[in-house]
Structure formats: C-alpha cells, structure tokens
Amino acid sequence: MKTRISITLAVALVLACAAPGWCASDSASGFNTLKGLAGQWEGKSGTITWKLVSGGSAMMEEMPHESMVSMYHLDDNRLLMTHYCAAQNQPRMAAEVSADGKTITFNFIDGTNLTGTHKAHMHNMVLTIVDQNHITEKWTFLADGKEQTETFQMTRKP
C-alpha cells in the first residue's frame, strides 16, 4: 500500500512540475537571480551595468573594458549566456546553478567566429552572489589549450 501511495505522489509531482508556473527550474531561479543584479556595479575594471532588456526576457551585462557585452536568457529549461568578446568571437555558455542559488557556473557549449576548438575564447564564467551588494565573477579564457583566469570583485553602486 505504501508503495502505491508513493508512486501516486511521485506521478502527481511530475505532472504538477510539467504545468507552467509550477516547480520553477534551477535555470528560472538563476535567471531571477540575474534580474536582481540590475543596476551598476563597481570593480577594478570600472563600472559594469546590468540591465533587464527585451521585455524582461534578457539580462544585458555591459563591461567597459573593450566594450564587451554579455547577454543572458532562458531557452526552455536552460539558462544561456552569449559573450560578445573583444576577441571578436561570441562564445555561448550554459548555466549550472548551485543548490543554494548563490553560484551560477556558465560552461562553454559553442560559439560563433571560432575556427575549431583551438581558437582563443572565453570558456567559463563563475558568478557568485556574495550578498545583496557584492558579487564575484571569475572568467576563464582558453588559448592554445591553456587557461587564464581573472577574478573580478564588484560592489553595487548606490
């Protein structure tokens, strides 16, 4: 009897999560976290601006260093980022959201203007929400099979 009840509950949960608005995915919660970053942030490379655009369907991160931009959006159950890089390519990365929702790791999936996998490109970015006014971004650049990582600590501007 217990097995039958457990199976019935499991099926009901799966069906409920399939309905729109129920059981938000990690990607949706990650995107909501990004929306909370809207505003200006100060770091060692200057001011970075996060802005909700396209009717609320995308977050844009503008970086002053060489006029780079990253765009974040949901694609069904995936949270994706396209980084428009000063290296003149556009790597796309898919997110993994930590269980506590404070760390979002973006890993390379593909990109444009890349000639094979040896072409230098941003390969990974780890965004950590330290608290409401502090974030850290750890960017990894891949060139000739070697990784170079730079970490940016940012504080929300009043």
Query: What amino acid is encoded at 33 in this protein?
Result: T
> Residue 25 — pLDDT band, cuts 50, 70, 90?
confident
Residues 96, 140, 108, 85: what is their CA dihedral angle, to the nearest 10 degrees?
A: 120
User: Which residue is listed with tokens 């970015």?
Assistant: 125
93: left (phi over 0), alpha (psi -120 to 50) or beta: beta
The chain-wide mean pLDDT, for the chain, equals 86
Q: How is the chain split into domains, by residue range?
A: 25-156
**For residue 19, pLDDT beyond 70:** no
Give residue-wise pLDDT tens across range 129-140. Answer: 999 999 999 999
DSSP 65: G
Query: Quick one: pLDDT at residue 117?
Result: 59
- The architecture that CATH gives domain 25-156 is Beta Barrel (2.40)
The answer to pTM > 0.75 is yes
